Structure 1
């Protein structure tokens, strides 16, 4: 089992152990360590020393930091007949927030009102659409980086100018009333496994754990939220997903985004005092992920034999 990751995180270590416990042989590699040879109809995956690598399945944990190296490698693996989770065609648009919003909307799911604005947009039209304050997010971002409120027209104008200089759209969302917390639901095989509420650190805008947020485990996932998380993971075709949402008074749950490379086990390591509660749940999720990868490898083998 090839586990493709930028570095050896707590997630990688946990999935390595879970796979070994089931008799599988994990191969942990950075995307930069592999070479693709194209001299026939199917590409060949090569180790750094030139020897061929023929994994039965691949966990494509290619974060944004390894995006450029990882996405083409995932595609090559798929073309070589290796089943991949999550596939390049899932990961690529899923990491782009504008595309993700469009896919959630196409599925009819409750999503925060969003504007994807060109640099020439009239700021007053944007304000009329979302009101102030509104929230600005990078089109391509992770761990809550670059997310913040825009409370004044002048701030919006400055951001439009920055977007124009970078030749990028400006990704804006409505500000959703909340108590400084949101909800993360971790999914494996499109099914919710465990969930926790994230509380923002004092003075912080985002509740992301990497930004100092605090985790509070949910002992159970309400059925309506479980169904919504499953629908979101299926809408973006991501077997492995972290669904982030806010429960808005008088409106119900609203999806913020879907993370395609969620820290399934890392979340427990960042939970502080809640770690003893979250860690068993995280281990269960990793266990299910290992089982899913082994099934994926078996399905791929049967398809190759049938062909």
Structure 2
């Protein structure tokens, strides 16, 4: 019996549960290692242990959620995953793909190099230069380079800071940008793409789009994430949109990915690629179980 680890911090997460159930149907012996409890011993042999198992004994690992990390723990967890991969453990998505997607700056570079349309993006470490960019573009989005679920995203329109709900905030654009740079050391700025009040999340597995949904923003909002109150709706992609999503996932190096694209009068743009995506929205909207496709991918690699 093949041993499969599903890395997750919350086993009640819909996607994690779907993966566990599907793996058991396929007769995998399943484990849910928590990397936050991982320990390594380096003696004559190297062992990477969780409370359940020596991770080197696994045949494959699916990474759903590495968990909150900070300081050296972030490097440690990814180093272990890289060593497991080098030792022959099949890992999807690979540590490299997850790092590529998690770093929005790096992802933007990779997507652009692949020739895929992405919003104009600027990064600077200086407040004055950041302000000049926001004033020139007039309408921009400020994102944490490492962020998820739309948390911490702000919009600056004509020198006014606007929250995800569309309500202007009291802080000035200068103070916000200055504080952001003081905290993060840099600022990642994207042009705001005028859109129909929605974006598209496509789920890609092994170079194919298995389903896509619109994420409709709540009334008055400009942020569309389902975790921020957006509502899912079935979406039928054009051939061009499908190719964009497949190309973006490939540029990141992801076996499976959630690719976010935005529509505008000027065409479509890839916003982000998520290499640890939830499959809940696709399932609830389309009755497509992404776990079936991901486990297929694992079986094909073993």
TM, length-normalised to structure 1: 0.85
The equivalences for 1:181-192 within 5 A come to 181-192=198-209
The CA deviation at 1:100 is 0.9
The answer for the alignment partner of 1:153 in structure 2 is: 159
Q: Which residue, 67, 73, 78 being the options, matches 1:71? A: 78
The answer for the alignment partner of 1:16 in structure 2 is: 20
Q: Does the aligned pair in 2 maintain the 1:64–1:142 contact within 8 Å?
A: no
Are residues 1:211 and 2:214 paired?
no
Change (3 A) 1:228 1:51: closer
The answer for the alignment partner of 2:60 in structure 1 is: 57
Q: Does the aligned pair in 2 maintain the 1:45–1:54 contact within 8 Å?
A: no
Of residues 57-66 and 120-129 in structure 1, the stretch that sits farther from structure 2 once superposed is 120-129
Question: Deviations for 1:137-160, whole angstroms, at most 9, x for unmatched residues?
Answer: 111100011112112437432233
The CA deviation at 1:108 is 1.4
Find the aligned partners of 2:258 and 2:94 in 1 and give their Cα distance. Answer: 16
Find the aligned partners of 1:195 and 1:95 in 2 and give their Cα distance. Answer: 21
Q: Does the aligned pair in 2 maintain the 1:4–1:31 contact within 8 Å?
A: yes
The answer for the alignment partner of 1:96 in structure 2 is: 103
Find the aligned partners of 2:150 and 2:142 in 1 and give their Cα distance. Answer: 11
The alignment covers a number of residue pairs equal to 283
Unaligned regions of 5+ residues in structure 1, if any?
A: 270-274, 299-307
User: Once superposed, what is the RMSD of the aligned Cα atoms?
Assistant: 2.2
The answer for the alignment partner of 2:164 in structure 1 is: none
Q: Which residue, 224, 230, 236 being the options, matches 2:246? A: 230
Helix, strand or coil for the counterpart of 1:65?
Answer: coil
Of residues 118-127 and 196-205 in structure 1, the stretch that sits farther from structure 2 once superposed is 118-127
The CA deviation at 1:39 is 3.1
Q: Does the aligned pair in 2 maintain the 1:6–1:66 contact within 8 Å?
A: no
Change (3 A) 1:2 1:46: same
Q: Does the aligned pair in 2 maintain the 1:43–1:79 contact within 8 Å?
A: no
Helix, strand or coil for the counterpart of 2:29?
Answer: coil
The CA deviation at 1:90 is 1.5
Q: Does the aligned pair in 1 maintain the 2:198–2:214 contact within 8 Å?
A: yes
Of residues 195-204 and 72-81 in structure 1, the stretch that sits farther from structure 2 once superposed is 72-81
Question: Deviations for 1:113-148, whole angstroms, at most 9, x for unmatched residues?
Answer: 11112124424531355x112111111100011112
Question: Deviations for 1:239-272, whole angstroms, at most 9, x for unmatched residues?
Answer: 11110011111x21111111111102x2257xxx
Helix, strand or coil for the counterpart of 2:32?
Answer: strand
TM, length-normalised to structure 2: 0.86
Unaligned regions of 5+ residues in structure 2, if any?
A: 161-171
Q: Which has the higher strand share?
A: 2
The answer for the alignment partner of 1:302 in structure 2 is: none
Find the aligned partners of 1:222 and 1:27 in 2 and give their Cα distance. Answer: 39
Find the aligned partners of 1:18 and 1:229 in 2 and give their Cα distance. Answer: 25
Find the aligned partners of 2:133 and 2:113 in 1 and give their Cα distance. Answer: 22
Are residues 1:198 and 2:212 paired?
no
Q: Does the aligned pair in 2 maintain the 1:57–1:84 contact within 8 Å?
A: yes
Q: Does the aligned pair in 1 maintain the 2:217–2:230 contact within 8 Å?
A: yes
Find the aligned partners of 2:215 and 2:296 in 1 and give their Cα distance. Answer: 28
The answer for the alignment partner of 1:255 in structure 2 is: 270
